Amino acid sequence: MHPMLNIAVRAARVAGNIIARGFENRDDLETQAKGANDFVTKIDKEAEQAIISKIKQSYPDHAFHGEESGKQGADETFTWIIDPLDGTTNFIKGIPHFCVSIALMHKGRLDQAVVFDPIRGELFTASRGAGAQLNGYRIRTSKSKDLNQTILATAFPFKQKDTLATYTEQFSQIFLACGDVRRTGSAALDMAYVASGRFDGYWERGIKPWDIAAGELLVRESGGLVTDFKGNNDPLFSGEIVAGSPRVVQNLVKYLK
């Protein structure tokens, strides 16, 4: 395992322990609204600080871009992109589907990735050029080519409800063309599931870099393709994403352009 990936895994497990304990004691949660339908708890903040602290022990000069704490560090040669608890609403409601997402960018390119599900104990990892793994075993995207009989994942535009009409039109066309669609509430896990072949594809609008950074590298290193709705190959900061096997992505983009 790459040394920086090893540190990321350790940080994810530390955060996962905080999240798991918090999940068992949700009555003690301090929940705040960051925006419309956008919540944060003290567990999100504690987990993010634990991740940053763990990484800084080994790499004190690295920069950080966290969902809760924003940007830290002037030298962005190495930048850690962190979502300490992706799926906060699931967490608050007691739905056991959420994760820790940590990605490392080196000179603007995704280099290392960890998505950790602390409830199921599933650890998805990837290093640029070295493939993707689930609990140490190699994973690959599905071999699906056409949308027929595929299982896709998406998310409703709950933070941008003014875009519902456009989303509904796109969803209707895709739904008629595919086998079925899932909506789980965690973008990072959706992409990890695409990387491992559980989902054949995934699309979402209104997405943030920390939601998808680790998942993007997982999908690419498992043989998949990641684009924005126009088919461009650098979607991290575009606010929209399509992921899956190359043919599935190409077919999805036809409906999303």
Structural domains of the chain, ranges and CATH numbers in brackets? 3-138 (3.30.540.10), 151-256 (3.40.190.80)
pLDDT at 15 over 60: yes
pLDDT for residue 73:
85
Q: Give the mean pLDDT of 37-60.
A: 88
Query: Quick one: which of 52, 40, 116, 47 has its CA closest to 80?
Result: 52
39: helix, strand or coil: strand
Q: Give the mean pLDDT of 157-169.
A: 81
Lowest-confidence region among 103-117, 145-159, 173-187:
145-159
Rounded Cα distance, 40 and 45, in Å: 8
Could you tell me the pTM of the whole model? Answer: 0.94
Q: Give the mean pLDDT of 140-149.
A: 94
Distances (CA, A) of 208 to 82, 230, 237: 11, 17, 7
pLDDT at 20 over 70: yes
Place of tokens 């008629």: 176
Q: Give the mean pLDDT of 67-85.
A: 91
pLDDT for residue 80:
98
pLDDT at 37 over 50: no
Instruction: Please say whether the beta carbons of 80 and 130 come within 8 A.
Output: no
- At position 252, the amino acid (one-letter code) is L
10: helix, strand or coil: helix
Predicted confidence band at 164 (pLDDT cuts at 50, 70, 90)? confident
